[in-house]
Amino acid sequence: MKRLVRSLLLFAILFGAWLLMSGHYTPLLILLGVVSCALAAVLADQIGGTDEEGLPLHIMARLPAYLAWLIKEIIMSNIATGRLILFGRARPVMFNTPATQATAGGIVTYANSITLTPGTVTIEVEDGKGGTSFLVHAVDASFAEDVESGEMDRRVTALETSPAGRGGA
């Protein structure tokens, strides 16, 4: 029963996204959207993609706040990168930064969030005895300071943490 509910929820999310992005609401296109989203939900269920890791429902309540914060950071970093290009000299640096996430999804979210922010790119994920860390390239030392402050790491860790205080698994 739980699998069915998770599959129906995945279908609803996919179909809602499809409706928002389609912009065409003729009966034929809506039918094709329903069929394609239903097929995607069934296939995702068949490969185990609707489990806690594949469809982490526990993050949905905190996701809008994280996305709003990330969009603000992307905009601020765009402005800083533009200023650097127009008025300054880049001082590129490479550095390692720790990742405190407990799940693979959390680590990927953190690495992608770093890369989405202009001026920084996650180059390598290193999984060692001391935990996971990233090798990051920053176009300027000020961008490195932003990542090394740990704010993004803290927010992604809070995003992935389930209400019971465990990792998302």
Q: What region, left, alpha or beta, does residue 48 occupy, with left being phi > 0 and alpha being psi -120 to 50 degrees?
A: left
For residue 129, the model assigns a pLDDT of 81
For residue 163, what pLDDT is reported?
55
Model confidence band, residue 89 (pLDDT cutoffs 50, 70, 90): confident
- Global confidence as pTM: 0.76
Q: 106: burial class by Cβ within 10 Å (0-12, 13-18, 19+)?
A: buried
Range in 2-11, 108-117, 135-144 the model is least confident about: 2-11
Exposed/middle/buried for residue 128 (C-beta within 10 Å: 0-12, 13-18, 19+): exposed
What's the pLDDT at 166?
Answer: 47
Could you tell me where the beta strands, DSSP code E, fall in 49-113? Answer: 93-99
Give the residue extent of every domain in the chain.
2-46, 58-160
Q: Is 147 exposed, middle or buried (0-12, 13-18, 19+ CB in 10 A)?
A: buried
CA gap 56, 104 in Å, rounded? 12
pLDDT of 167: 46
The pLDDT, as a whole number, for residue 116 is 94
End-to-end Cα distance, the chain: 19
55's CB contacts (< 8 A; 6+ apart) are 6, 9, 10, 44, 49
Asked if pLDDT for residue 6 goes beyond 60, the answer is yes
CA distances from residue 138 to 49, 56, 72, 111, 158 in whole angstroms, order as listed = 34, 31, 19, 13, 24
**Cα distance between residue 127 and residue 129, in whole Å:** 7
DSSP state of 57: G
Maximum average pLDDT range among 44-53, 84-93, 147-156: 147-156
Yes or no: is domain 58-160 CATH 3.30.70? yes
Q: What percent of the chain has pLDDT over 70?
A: 95
pLDDT, tens digit, 9 for 90 and up, residues 12-57: 999 999 999 998 899 999 999 999 999 999 999 999 888 877 777 7
Residue at token pair 């860790």: 157
Segment 60-79, tens digit of pLDDT: 888 999 999 999 999 999 99
Q: What's the whole-number average pLDDT of the chain?
A: 89
What pLDDT is attached to residue 168?
A: 44
